[in-house]
Structure formats: structure tokens, C-alpha cells
Amino acid sequence: MSDLFTLLGDPVTDPEEESFVVFSHDVPSQQSLGFIDSQAAEIEISIGGRDLTIRQSRGLLTSDRKEGTTGAVVWKVTPLFAEWIASPNFLSKHGFLGSDNVAIELGAGVSGLVALTLGPKIKKYIATDQDYVIRLLKRNIAENLPTINTRKPKPKKKTSHSISESVCGIETLELDWELNSVSSLPSQLGLSGEGAGFDLVIACDCIYNESLIEPLNSTCAQICKLRSLDGKDRPTLCLVAQQLRSHEVFEAWLKSFNSLFKVWQVPDALLTAPLRVNSGFIVHIGVVR
């Protein structure tokens, strides 16, 4: 792990100063909410040489649903992040994205793009979001993977979470950051035994509403703490990618995240060009304190 932290460089120590530096660069995406095309019922995206057709929910996006509708469409940072995370990178080289690893994504939205690109490369990928998103998320995953596990799932006891049948190592799960506990996730997902838990927690463009910052960061921290370390296991990493829109919202998120995690901004040398400085996007890694 020390090699990984050396590669990442100096951690964030002053969130206010860090926010000032981040927004002192050109931020082209500040002028845009970040939809790819909010009017299209379907969008065609090519990632890693694969052509994907993603269904969106225009009706849901324009509804007055008080719990939120942002997960109904695809955001610009998501395919860029999906392309990078599923390609050979420093996380795969340091043993976090191999055939024995487990990742969980918070706020996956309807697209399932990160699940579709990274899921088949690792042991298990759990894409989570609120109940209104899950149906279309499962459909997009099923329609864009060549092989579907058609075995009927074993009956499970009813819980506060609803888990779908596994599709090529990808599962979907209903998870509300403000309502659901994550303490039972390892046993519920069959992740038992020594070092049980997750290798990676992913949040891709979930930071846009200041009122959701604390629930999101708290859920990330709780999931990272599920792995009880005995000196042999690596800690769970929390990987957060986002579009830079509001200086105030970003600074509020970074202050909160820094209070729970030791934080690094992923340097340009470790990212693909579309995610580097001046792109309007940024990626951070956290290790829970």
C-alpha cells in the first residue's frame, strides 16, 4: 500500500485551499449541467471497443419526484470514468481490480456503464441506487451484456435491500443513503470470511446537491469500515469522480470527505486525458480514517 500512496503523492490537508486551486483552473463544464443528451430515449456509446445502447427515462427526468430524478439520464463524466477504470491503470496494477476483487457503486443511475465495463473484469460488482432507478438499470445491464445467467435465484429472506439475480458477476441493489443501513451487506451479498467486505467503493458524479453530501460520505465511510483489517488485508478504497459545477458544493463535499477519509486527488499522470486538469472533471481516492 505504501507504493500506492507514494504514487498518489501528497494527500489533501486543507480542503479550502484545495478547492481554491481546483477552481482556479479553467472549468469548462461549469457552464453545463452535464447531460450527454437529456432528450434522447436511447443513446449510443462506445467504451473500450464495445458499442452500448443505453435507455434513458425522459419522463422521469422531467417529473416532480421530490426524491430526485438525476439518475434517469447519462452524465458526461460517466463514460469517461468507465473507460478509464476498466482499462489497465494504477488500481489494477496494485491489486484492486482483478478477478478476486469486489466493488460496489453508489448512485449508479439507469445506465450501468461502469458496471458494464468493469463488472466482467472482477469477481463481483454491485451497482446500487434508489428503487425508482433499479428497473431500468437492470434492463440496460441485461441488454448490453452478451451472456446472462438465467438460473433462478434462491429465495432470500426479505430485507431492507432488494438484490437482483447475478448477471456476469454484476448485481443490482436498492440502497438509499439516507434510509438504509449497510452493516449487513457483506453477509447479504455472500461476502463472508476473513477480510470480508469490498475492495473498492465507487461514486461517479453523485455530488451535485449539498443536502446529500453528508449521507453520501457517511455511507461511503460505513462501507469502507465493513472490512476488519488484521494487518494482512488491504483497506477498502473509496473512488469518487465528479464534474466540477459549483465551487461551494465541491468545497462542502471535500471538507466532509476529508473529515472521514484521508484524501488524495488522483494526479494527471494516472488518468486518461479526458479526466485531467482543465477537463472540468476530477477524481479523488479516500482511505477511511
CA distance 196 to 226: 8
- 193: its cell numbers: 470470511
| Domain carrying residue 151 | 2-288
Q: What ranges make up the beta strands (E) of 124-258?
A: 124-129, 170-174, 200-204, 237-243
Query: What pTM does this model have?
Result: 0.89
Total count of domains within the chain: 1
10 Å CB burial of residue 58 (0-12, 13-18, 19+) is: middle
CA distance 289 to 285: 13
**Intervals of the chain under pLDDT 70:** 29-32, 59-70, 146-167, 194-195, 228-233
Terminal Cα distance for the chain, rounded: 15
Tens of pLDDT, residue by residue over 256-279, are 999 999 999 999 999 999 999 999
The single-letter DSSP state of residue 158 is -
CATH at residue 284: 3.40.50.150
Q: What is the pLDDT of residue 159?
A: 45
Q: What is the pLDDT of residue 146?
A: 67
Decide the pairing of beta strands 170-174 and 237-243: unpaired
Q: What is the pLDDT of residue 10?
A: 97
CA distance 185 to 132: 20
Q: What is the pLDDT of residue 235?
A: 92
